[in-house]
Amino acid sequence: MKDAKERHDRKQEFLDTALDLFYEKGYEKTTIKDIINQVGLSKGAFYHYFESKEDVIEQISEAFAEETIYSVKKLSERTDINAVEKINRSIELIQQHKKQFKDKRKKIKGAFNSEENLKLQKKILDRLKGRILPYYKRMLDEGVTDNLFDIPDSTELAEFFLLTFDNLSKSIEALESAMLDRKTMDEQEFKTALENKLAFYQEVIERVFKVEKDTFNVRDPFMNRFS
């Protein structure tokens, strides 16, 4: 048991050290030797846990997303709440997770700053999206069965839903960055822009799902995250 814990701690040390280096130097400029030297362990120890530097960043990204994916999976399996409640709770828990681990998420995003890394970033994100997509499809199929949604294709809509919220999150982060840098808006202007953007996205999503106004709660989870 102790050996297993030591192995986990050693692997986590590699992951944490690599993430710091990727953020500070950039993924491309960080070498495996840099990681090994910083941790103070052997090359053999590194290759015991990882196949390559790419394997490291993939494991960092997957570990960060794991809690969210598991939580959405458990939500999709519940029988005590309906599909609308499941989707609303999934929005809430994902935004809570992003807020709670804001610094780590910033480092992971920072590791992909250069254009050279866009292909790798897309590969990782596509894999993570592929893991969570079936759970949203399950929620949507349940909603159709219960006559809560009138949708033509649950697989396509699940993908649309994920892409829409990813775009919303990126859009708000850009607004927040502009506000923090005091480039184009102050705090009150940011709040107003945020409110307007969330109202727009909520209306669009509800129209696509063909549900009544305020069926979904997009506003509160994002306001809590960015407040």
For residues 17 and 119, membership in a common domain is answered with no
For residues 88 and 121, membership in a common domain is answered with yes
Describe the chain by its helix, strand, coil percentages, rounded to 5.
Answer: 80, 0, 20
For residues 26 and 58, membership in a common domain is answered with no
Work out the pLDDT band at 144, boundaries 50, 70, 90: very high
For residues 152 and 101, membership in a common domain is answered with yes
For residues 75 and 34, membership in a common domain is answered with no
Say if residue 121's pLDDT is above 90: no
* CATH code assigned at 33: 1.10.10.60
pLDDT, tens digit, 9 for 90 and up, residues 202-212: 999 999 999 99
* CATH code assigned at 127: 1.10.357
Tell me which long-range contacts 17-24 makes (C-beta under 8 A, separation of at least 24): 18/53, 18/56, 18/57, 18/60, 19/60, 19/104, 19/107, 19/108, 19/111, 20/107, 22/57, 22/107, 22/110, 22/111, 23/106, 23/107, 23/110, 23/111
Say if residue 148's pLDDT is above 50: yes
pTM of the model as a whole: 0.88
For residues 134 and 59, membership in a common domain is answered with yes
For residues 88 and 42, membership in a common domain is answered with no
For residues 88 and 157, membership in a common domain is answered with yes
Assess contact for 60 and 15: CB atoms under 8 A: yes
Q: Which domain holds residue 8?
A: 1-50
Residue that terminates a domain, selected from 50, 71, 89:
50
For residues 155 and 128, membership in a common domain is answered with yes
For residues 3 and 91, membership in a common domain is answered with no
The reported pLDDT for the residue numbered 160 is 95
The reported pLDDT for the residue numbered 1 is 46
- The count of domains in the chain is 2
The reported pLDDT for the residue numbered 112 is 79
Work out the pLDDT band at 184, boundaries 50, 70, 90: confident
For residues 46 and 68, membership in a common domain is answered with no
The reported pLDDT for the residue numbered 117 is 78
